Amino acid sequence: MQGSILVLSGPSGCGKSSLVTEILKSYHDIYFSISTTTRDIREGEAEGVNYHYITKKQFEEEIEEGMFLEWAKVHDNYYGTSLKPVKAALDAGKLVIFDIDVQGHEIVKKKFDDIMTSLFITTPSADVLRERLIHRGTDSMDVIEKRLLNSREEMQRIDEYDFLLVNDIFDETLKKFKAIVDVSRMKIDKKSKDNFINKWYNES
């Protein structure tokens, strides 16, 4: 059967990356979709591990060529997902995990709704998010304020997601996250269901 998709969204700093890192240690049939971005590479990041880093000109050319499953412009930078490796992972029966914003979630849902599960992850409050972003030490205060403003807009769209996780105590959140991963891996596309039904009747 074809693979399935789990879309993760939530404010920058809510802990999505840490949760995914732990999940990838426990499962071997998961493909974590690496986004392409035009933002500068940060200290400690690596090409092909955190993101694929390209210029704005390259990104805009690839948009015109239809090479992205989804893309968005956030904080004056482009972010997007290449379609080719996603299809390969699905054909191999893997669970594809996306870490994308609410705009990307909407686009993926239109293309893969029958095999997609969605999860919104956030912090207990806006104040906690601010503290985590400051403690992370990767952004200026201007960027942090932009991220906080953007998070308020994202929070208004939580009802578009299947699940909500509040990342307060990490270990407890991770247990719940694993349960959602297990459920999402069981989602089956309509074609596979129809094939099973036909096989079930023909072999009875």
**pLDDT tens sequence across 117-175:** 999 999 999 999 999 999 887 888 888 888 898 888 899 999 999 999 999 999 999 99
Residue 122 burial (CB count, 10 A): 23
- Please name which of 87, 126, 127, 125 lies closest in space to residue 5, comparing C-alpha atoms: 87
Taken in order of first residue, the domains within the chain and their CATH numbers are 4-33+93-202 (3.40.50.300)
Do 75 and 154 meet the contact criterion of CB atoms below 8 Å apart? no
The whole-model pTM stands at 0.80
Residue 197 burial (CB count, 10 A): 10
Burial of 54 (0-12, 13-18, 19+ CB in 10 A): middle
**pLDDT tens sequence across 50-92:** 888 999 999 999 899 888 988 888 888 999 888 888 888 999 9
For residue 2 the two structure tokens come to 């074809």
Tokens 């694993």 belong to residue:
178
Do 20 and 32 meet the contact criterion of CB atoms below 8 Å apart? yes
